[in-house]
Amino acid sequence: MIPRIDGALCTGCKRCAEVCPPQSIYMKEEKAHIDPELCEECGFCAAECPVGAILIDFPASVNQ
């Protein structure tokens, strides 16, 4: 799943961009954005975000 960035929470610290292996994260208007064409869906960015602005929407379990 390609992560999504909550622009309201993003502080523009650039830590996510620094840990992104394919360099798919770029800054625009002081907020992080992800290029889905380059994203490898590794989740490093979500793990690195200090404010929890990067979310990965996993599908709901079918066994609920």
CATH class of the domain comprising 4-53: alpha beta
Per-domain boundaries in the chain: 4-53
| Chain segment 5-64, per-residue pLDDT in tens | 999 999 999 999 999 999 999 999 999 999 999 999 999 999 999 999 999 998 887 776
pTM: 0.86
10 and 43 in contact (C-beta within 8 Å)? no
The per-residue pLDDT for 11 is 98
**20 vs 9, 40, 51, 61, CA distance in Å?**
19, 9, 17, 28
**Coil vs helix vs strand at 27:** strand
